[in-house]
Amino acid sequence: MARSYVSEARRRGLGRRRERIGPIIERLAAEYPDAGIALRFRNDLELLVSVMLSAQTTDATVNRVTASLFRKYRRPEDYLAVPREELERDIYATGFYRQKAKAIRGAMQMLLEEFGGEVPHRLEDLVRLPGVARKTANVVAAELGHAQGIVVDTHVRRLSQRLGLTRHDDPVKIERDLQRVVPRADWARFSHLLIWHGRRVCHARRPRCEDCVLEDLCPSSRLR
């Protein structure tokens, strides 16, 4: 599917990816001026934990859980001071609570042992933390103002393919394609823009092409 959209963009004369990316970003930024992360946090540690908890659940669920969680756990030491079962109960509503509790405790231990209890900003350090894969690390780094990659979630993958910005399905390869065309200054906000557009207009099953600000730039438009 993604491969045909890359070719379709050329066939329809929509221009190369580098030519279209500027207008794509500009239009989405105008449409969603408040696009940003939906998770609620007050510091670097809360950001890290929120993102780790967000796997396989909704941001709204995470925010409900962390409203009380962050009153109880304020430092890395706090997550290690209670029995694992207690932390599991505190994050139960986010799903996969056993794996998440184990990962959080492991990350807290490493923060204390290797990073002075502080959340690192470098991607290569973040991905060393237990339970922190590249997607999570990219989110954390970007929100800390040190974007070193582009977050590729299900929305970003779907829209990047439909817009003919990549021919791949693998998130790592998609990120590599996006990094080649998206200006580095826009790496952090680009994912937010696609996510917001994917949630509001470019739905997985039935995209609302008639309401899309990118329709004339999109090789997968259903109106053509």
3-state helix, strand and coil shares in percent for the chain, rounded to the nearest 5? 60, 0, 40
Among the listed residues 90, 100, 135, 177, the single catalytic one is 135
Among the listed residues 153, 170, 177, 216, the single catalytic one is 153
Show the tokens assigned to 145.
Answer: 């103002």
**Cα 66 from Cα 89, distance rounded (Å):** 13
Q: Does the annotation mark 153 as catalytic?
A: yes
Q: Does the annotation mark 102 as catalytic?
A: no
Give the torsion through C-alpha atoms of 57, 103, 113, 133, to 10 deg.
Answer: -60
**Cα 23 from Cα 28, distance rounded (Å):** 8
Could you tell me if 52 and 103 are in contact, meaning their C-beta atoms sit under 8 angstroms apart?
Answer: yes
Which residue numbers are catalytic? Answer: 135, 153
